[in-house]
Amino acid sequence: MNREEMGRIFGVKDSILVLAYFRTSAEALHLAWSTDGLNWMPLHGNRPVLWATVGNRSIRDPFIRRGADGHFHLVSTDSWMSKNLIYTHSQDLIRWEPQRLVPVMGSVPGARNVWAPEFVCDASTHEYLLFWASITEPGNHQRIWACRTRDFQRFSQPVVLFDPDYTVIDATIVRNGRTWVMVYKDERGRNEPNTDNKAMRMATASSLNGPYGMPTGLITPHLTEGPAVFRVNGRWLMLYDYFLDGKWGASASDDLKSWRPVTENLSVPPGARHGTVFEITRRELDVLQRAWPA
């Protein structure tokens, strides 16, 4: 749901951006808010607002979106070596329904993990396309897998959504006009300063289901991951995690093709890792601030 839709549905001109993230010292859901996508103010004093109660008892790579039902739906990584993702939903981001483990790779022989799950609402079918990174069988590389659901209760069989013949993780998908754009991490190489990859690329498709092709060159600095791509104030912003340095970077684009660094203007909560961005109303922010004073 973008800002134009927020204004039409909720009768507000300005929506609030919310960053969902975790911290290495507290693998749980944290939230921060912003009006410009660069200056982020933590809610609840940068303390967790939701802990995992299932699986590995860890919320990593949290992704939240408001669904067609008006609820906020959360999916997250369960653990490094789990075939499940964690799912729950809430009407207000404060009170959450009981968490569930969803075995999205449980039927795939040799599946080893489910990393950084996200979803996109497909308005043409009234379904959600849920996608994540996974490796199957020893020696194979990470690919982006996907399934579909209408209600987060029943899920289609998983299929490979994107495989450029090298290992990829941390995919996120946005729509730009009639084109679907996938931003993902090229995971080839080692975590060393002179690596040739370990950064983000883009691939495009005319359909949400793909095929996604024509991968671009690297669009972020080396040794970055966890892209969050969103539109604010007439331009695209991308936030990403310098995963070895404990800091974040940001880039801006007018056309979702050419990117320029804007990290010097970025401020995120200390210790934040792998975030995703969604929108709420100003009234909803007021409720959160009352529930979680700094």
pLDDT at 3 over 70: no
**ω into 211 cis (within 30 of 0):** yes
> Judging by beta carbons within 10 Å of its beta carbon (0-12, 13-18, 19+), is residue 45 exposed, middle or buried?
exposed
pLDDT computed for residue 8 by the predictor? 42
Tens digit of each residue's pLDDT (9 = 90 or more) over 10-41: 344 579 999 999 999 999 999 999 999 999 99
So what's the pLDDT on residue 294? 75
Q: Pull the structure tokens for residue 270.
A: 């200390």
The partner residues of 149 in beta bridges, in order of sequence, read 128
d(CA 118, CA 128): 10
pLDDT digits (tens, 9 = 90+) for 84-108: 999 999 999 999 999 999 999 999 9
The domains of the chain, with CATH numbers, are: 3-291 (2.115.10.20)
Q: Is the predicted pLDDT of residue 72 greater than 60, yes or no?
A: yes
243-265 confidence digits (pLDDT tens): 999 999 999 999 999 999 999 99
**Secondary structure of the chain in HEC code, one letter for each residue:** CCHHHHHHHHCCCCCEEEEEEEECCEEEEEEEEECCCCECEECHHHCCCECCCCCCCCCEEEEEEECCCCCEEEEEECCCCCCCEEEEEECCCCCECCCEEECCCCCCCCECCCEEEEEEEECCCCEEEEEEEECECCCCCCEEEEEEECCCCCCCCCEEEECCCCCEEEEEEEEECCEEEEEEEECCCCCCCCCCCCEEEEEEECCCCCCCECCCCCCCCCCCEEEEEEEECCEEEEEEEECCCCEEEEEEECCCCCCEECHHHCECCCCEEEEEEEEECHHHHHHHHHHCCC
